[in-house]
Structures are given as C-alpha cells and as structure tokens.
C-alpha cells in the first residue's frame, strides 16, 4: 500500500510539473494556427534584413530564410510561399493581405540544412498592401515549403513566420 502511495505521489508531481510547463496559446495564436495549419517549429528561421518605405502604404520587407533543420526544404521561388497577415483586434481574426511584389517566375528552390552546402539560406521580399495610416502596424510574414527527400517533395509542409512592426 505504501508503494502505491509513493507511485501516486511521484505521478502527481510529474503531472503537475508537465502541466505547469505548457504555455496556453492566446486566442490570437490559436486563430493563426487554424488559418495556417503548418508546423512552425521545424528549424526554418526568418530574420529581418530590411524594411524600406515603412511609413508609406507601399513598404517592402526583405527577409533571410535560413534552414537550420536536418532536412532539405523545397520552396516555390522566388516567393518562397510567402503570405502576409494582419491581426484584426476588432474581429479577433487574422486577415491575409495582398503582396504587391509579383514575380513572373514560378521556379523552385531547395534549401539544404545549414552546414551541408552553400544553398542553406535565401532572401525573400514581400510588399504588403496596407492602408496608408499614421499608426504603427504589425504584419506577420509566413513562408511555407515542403520537406524534400530522395529527390522529391514529400508533401510534409513546414514553415516559419516573423512579425514585423511598421512605424509611421
């Protein structure tokens, strides 16, 4: 009987530790995960390179995509599957906005894991179509690709996002 109590006590302590370690997603992040149901913790990373004309209705955002995963990742280039979102506090949902940068090319690109070749990173540019406003605005830029194994796409989507604040 004493052994059962010890096991129950250990189980209860472990359960509480695991429960306390999990962060509850905000409603904003839950809405994003529903809208873009692609794993975002896969080793892809986005870094802000530059924001041009941030105070206008026609900003351009340059990002560095880095592959820190263990897999090759296939992207539709030159857009790299980029999508742009703004969170509407009023509606409690993410709204996708158009990208002003349109490329005539629909080629593809494969990023290898960092350290396994020279093609582990790429620059992507987006131009969110946003209203001309004198308010600070945050846009979320998302890139998505697919794991590439044995010379072909696997259908397993992966992604990364970055929030970029545009100052008036």
Domain range annotation of the chain = 25-166
Q: What are 114-149's pLDDT values in tens digits?
A: 989 889 999 999 999 987 777 888 999 999 999 999
Q: Spell out the residues 6+ positions from residue 115 whose beta carbon is closer than 8 angstroms to its own.
A: none
pLDDT tens-place string over residues 10-30: 333 333 334 444 457 788 898
pTM of the model: 0.80
- Measured CA to CA, the distance from residue 116 to residue 72 in angstroms comes to 10
Q: Which CATH class is domain 25-166?
A: mainly beta
Cα–Cα distance, 126 to 164 (Å, whole number): 11
Instruction: Provide the token pair at 80.
Output: 């790299």
Beta-carbon-side half-sphere exposure of residue 89 (alpha carbons within 13 Å)? 2
């Amino acid at each position: 009987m004493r052994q059962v109590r010890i096991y129950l006590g250990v189980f209860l302590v472990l359960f509480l530790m695991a429960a306390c370690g999990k962060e509850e997603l905000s409603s904003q992040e839950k809405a994003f995960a529903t809208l873009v149901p692609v794993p975002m913790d896969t080793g892809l990373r986005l870094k802000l390179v530059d924001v041009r004309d941030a105070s206008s209705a026609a900003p351009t955002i340059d990002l560095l995509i880095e592959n820190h995963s263990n897999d090759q990742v296939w992207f539709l280039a030159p857009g790299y599957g980029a999508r742009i979102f703004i969170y509407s506090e009023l509606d409690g949902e993410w709204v996708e906005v158009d990208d002003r940068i349109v490329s005539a090319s629909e080629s593809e690109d494969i990023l290898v894991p960092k350290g396994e070749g020279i093609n582990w990173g790429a620059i992507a540019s987006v131009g969110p179509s946003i209203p001309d406003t004198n308010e600070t605005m945050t846009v979320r830029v998302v890139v998505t690709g697919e794991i590439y194994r044995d010379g072909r796409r696997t259908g397993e989507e992966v992604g990364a996002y970055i929030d970029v604040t545009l100052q008036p």
